[in-house]
């Protein structure tokens, strides 16, 4: 009997059909959307909210909520992979690509640090966030992103483990040199490619 949808397979997604090539090593498939947060969910009112790109000095670009929503946006459908071993297939998001945001900032740097309300940070190399690989998203499955999943906006970097997809992101800090973010300084791998199982430093 064939299963029409690998997603209905649930937790035990090892199979001979097309699940395998979409599931990185050591991961299992879930249809849930677990919440993983290192602290409380921040709530920033829309009139207080802005999004900024800087390189240490004054802002290179800054958008209010209304300005951010007016930027060219894209719909993306991606699989996501958490270092705690769950993967979720075919998630739908809408947001602004980092290519667009960095173009508008008019500056590039080899590394950046995403900074969030609540103090969480994560570091990324420019090559991992340009070329259609990363977005700042404000919709999940056609709805505003729920606060516990990072609303109003979160980073989405689906080709890396999900801790790189910073929730409640408020700014991108461009850096000439790499600098570890929150989990990266507590032993998570600096890069986090799920296909190479780059989970921790000591692996
Ligand atoms: N600001 C912030 N972003 C964060 C985290 C966090 O604790 N704070 N946790 C990360 C981790 S470890 C994971 S797996 C995902 C979880 O996202 P979710 O709660 O929407 O599943 O968010 C990432 N982004
Ligand atoms: Mo995670």
Into how many domains does the chain fold? 1
In this structure, is residue 135 part of a structural domain? Answer: yes
Say what the pLDDT of residue 201 is.
84
Residue 4 has pLDDT above 60, yes or no: no
In this structure, is residue 63 part of a structural domain? Answer: yes
User: What residue's CA is closest to ligand 1, atom 9?
Assistant: 37
Say what the pLDDT of residue 2 is.
41
Cβ(135)–Cβ(97) below 8 Å: yes
Instruction: Give bridge partners of residue 53 from the DSSP assignment.
Output: 61, 172
pTM: 0.91
Q: What is the mean pLDDT of residues 157-182?
A: 98
Instruction: Give bridge partners of residue 140 from the DSSP assignment.
Output: 93, 143
In this structure, is residue 31 part of a structural domain? Answer: no
Cβ(180)–Cβ(64) below 8 Å: no
Residue reference for tokens 């190399």: 125
Residue by residue, DSSP assigns 173-188 as: EEESS----TGGGGTB
Q: What is the mean pLDDT of residues 168-186?
A: 98
Residue 10 has pLDDT above 60, yes or no: no
Q: Ligand 2 centroid to 185 CA: how many Å?
A: 14
Q: What is the pLDDT of residues 32-51, one digit of tens each?
A: 999 999 999 999 999 999 99
In this structure, is residue 59 part of a structural domain? Answer: yes
Which among 36, 153, 187 is the best mutation to test ligand 1's pocket, defined by most ligand atoms within 8 Å of the CB?
36
Residue 173 has pLDDT above 90, yes or no: yes
Q: What is the pLDDT of residues 89-140, one digit of tens each?
A: 999 999 999 999 999 999 999 999 999 999 999 999 999 999 999 999 999 9
In this structure, is residue 7 part of a structural domain? Answer: no
In this structure, is residue 5 part of a structural domain? Answer: no
Which ligand has the shortest distance to the CA of 38? 1
In this structure, is residue 11 part of a structural domain? Answer: no
Q: What is the CATH number of the domain that holds 138?
A: 3.90.420.10
User: What residue's CA is closest to ligand 1, atom 21?
Assistant: 35
Could you give the C-alpha distances from 100 to 67, 73, 96, 136, 199, in angstroms and in order?
14, 9, 7, 10, 29
Q: Ligand 2 centroid to 164 CA: how many Å?
A: 8
Q: Answer whether 119 contacts ligand 1 (Cβ < 6 A).
A: no
Its domain, for residue 161, covers 51-196
């Amino acid at each position: 009997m064939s299963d029409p949808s690998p997603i209905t397979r649930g937790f035990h997604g090892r199979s001979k059909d097309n699940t395998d090539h979409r599931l990185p090593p050591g991961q299992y498939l879930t249809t849930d959307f677990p919440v993983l947060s290192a602290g409380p969910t921040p709530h920033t009112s829309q009139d207080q909210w802005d999004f900024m790109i800087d390189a240490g000095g004054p802002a290179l670009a800054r958008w209010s909520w209304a300005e951010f929503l007016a930027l060219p946006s894209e719909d993306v459908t991606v699989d996501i992979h958490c270092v705690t071993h769950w993967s979720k297939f075919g998630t739908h998001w809408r947001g602004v690509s980092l290519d667009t945001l960095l173009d508008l900032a008019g500056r590039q740097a080899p590394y950046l640090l995403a900074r969030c309300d609540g103090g969480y940070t994560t570091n990324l190399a420019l090559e991992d966030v340009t070329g259609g690989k990363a977005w700042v998203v404000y919709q999940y499955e056609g709805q505003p992103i729920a606060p516990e999943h990072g609303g109003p906006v979160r980073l989405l970097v689906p080709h890396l483990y999900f801790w790189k997809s910073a929730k409640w992101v408020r700014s991108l800090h461009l850096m000439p040199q790499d600098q570890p973010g929150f989990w990266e300084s507590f032993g998570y791998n600096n890069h986090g490619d799920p296909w190479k199982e780059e989970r921790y430093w000591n692996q």
